[in-house]
Amino acid sequence: MEVPRAMTRRFVLALCALLVIPTFALAQDTSIPEHNRAELTEPPPRPGPGDVDERARRLVQAIAQDQPSLAHDFFLSREAFRAIKGIADPDGLYDRIFRMYEDDIHELHAQLGADASRAEFVRFEFSRRRAWVRLREESNRLPYWAQRHNWLVYRVGDEERRIEVRTMIAWDDRWYITHLSEFR
């Protein structure tokens, strides 16, 4: 069966609209940082730690006090997540991983038990497991630097302990958590 030329043309135009409109809407809604522009062909320099220690300190407080809201600014913002992810329902996925982050904080607090009130931040350690995530990898429409298997080091009394921070990504030149624990 032969498809009429007009139908083929309408299909191609509709397909182009699906590909172009989200990018156009993205440009209208969100300011895309230089380090995350879709047209990058080479990775920009990997961002330094910036204020990670300050936000990691608040994460330890959030865990110790069982108050996830103290560490909300260490998690990637909804707006940045929407800009990065090229999936049908980025808000649904965001809600899921944000809930996981808060649940992880509650679970870590429970694991500390009686030691919770004595937990003190020591340092944040970036691992060597890093990569430039290119356009279209991991269902994304913007590239970014990713850091995996990092460590939040804290102390209870004289004992140093560690919490793995599973995945962080850089939005512009600032690091954010997207998975505190393993994605489930």
Q: What is the pLDDT of residues 26-58, one digit of tens each?
A: 434 458 999 999 999 899 999 999 999 999 999
CA distance 117 to 64: 6
Q: State the pLDDT confidence band at 145, using cuts at 50, 70 and 90.
A: very high
Q: What is the mean pLDDT of residues 99-108?
A: 98
Amino acid at 33: P
| Whether residue 157 has pLDDT greater than 90 | yes
Amino acid at 63: I
| Whether residue 97 has pLDDT greater than 50 | yes
Beta strands in 130-158 (DSSP E): 130-133, 144-156
**What are the C-alpha distances in Å from 46 to residues 50, 114, 141?**
11, 39, 19
Q: What is the mean pLDDT of residues 132-138?
A: 93
CA distance 179 to 2: 50
* Residue 173 CB-half CA count within 13 A: 8
| Whether residue 121 has pLDDT greater than 90 | yes
Annotated domain spans of the chain: 31-179
Q: What is the mean pLDDT of residues 2-29?
A: 45
Give this prediction's pTM.
0.82
CA distance 87 to 124: 31
